[in-house]
Amino acid sequence: MGVNAVRLRVRSGTALSLVSLAGLAAFCWPLLVTPGARIGQSAFAPWMFVLLLPLLLAVALAEIAEGGIDAKAIALLGVLGAVGAALRPLGTNVAGFEPMFFVLVHGGRVLGRGFGYLLGAVAMFASALITAGVGPWLPYQILGAAWVGFFAGCLPRARGRTEIAMLAAYGAVAAFAYGWLQNLGLWPFVGGMASSISYHPGAPLADNLGRFVAFNLATSLGFDLPRAIFTAILVAVTGRPVLLALRRAARRAAFEAPAGFDDRSD
């Protein structure tokens, strides 16, 4: 249950959908190319998506912001984005400690899917600037975080402990899926691995899928699983006070109240 702090109109919704489809292609292309396809054999293929994603993200963010976000939503986006960006560096040296995700989950839940999408993108981009984490992986991280916030705003209605449990479960799944998506974007770039877990360009889907699962289990399960558990715990612990605070702020901001003018004269 939440408000729509950022309204998704037809154009912005279409742009977001197209960018999300392109993002899925950017993440999943290693598994989807057919054997012998040129894109699977080309060394430029991964870089093509790295160069394309920032442009598509910029289009989606511009479309969402155009006429669909007011000054109050921008202010709240700045505050929550700064909180998320400040929290993320706390987990850079600890396996599974990613405190930023609970901000995205609660923000998207209360303030809507459009706001959640922007919040994930802004928080991840700002945190990359703080940690000097700008690189070819950043567009993938921005899109993954944006999806975490967006789908938090798509969760069904619930109240009380049921809502907290639902958000905690979603946080765990989203944090785990985020890690696997980032690995899928990184996987084609990684060389020098055993052939049983390395990406084979143009190999059949079943072969590469098995290698990718083995790659995750061998290299990042110690990060993905603790991240999911920690996110679920943090969402559950902070759920009640944070949700109340955000809903109080949303009511006072009256995002969905129609604008009008007072025609009373003195």
| CA atoms of 174 and 165, how far apart (whole Å) | 14
pLDDT tens digit string along 19-77? 888 888 888 877 876 655 555 444 555 555 566 667 666 766 676 666 567 778 888 98
In the prediction, which pLDDT does 81 show?
92
Q: pLDDT class for 257, splitting at 50, 70, 90?
A: low
In the prediction, which pLDDT does 35 show?
53
In the prediction, which pLDDT does 149 show?
94
Least confident of 124-133, 221-230, 254-263: 254-263
> Does pLDDT of 125 surpass 80?
yes
pLDDT tens digit string along 201-210? 777 888 888 9
In the prediction, which pLDDT does 200 show?
81
Q: What percentage of residues in the chain have a pLDDT greater than 70?
A: 79
Burial of 212-230, coded b for 16+ CB within 10 Å and e otherwise, reads beebbeebbeebbbbbbeb
Domains of the chain, each with CATH number or no CATH: 10-253 (1.10.1760.20)
Q: What percentage of residues in the chain have a pLDDT greater than 90?
A: 32
pLDDT tens digit string along 160-169? 999 999 999 9
> Does pLDDT of 221 surpass 80?
yes
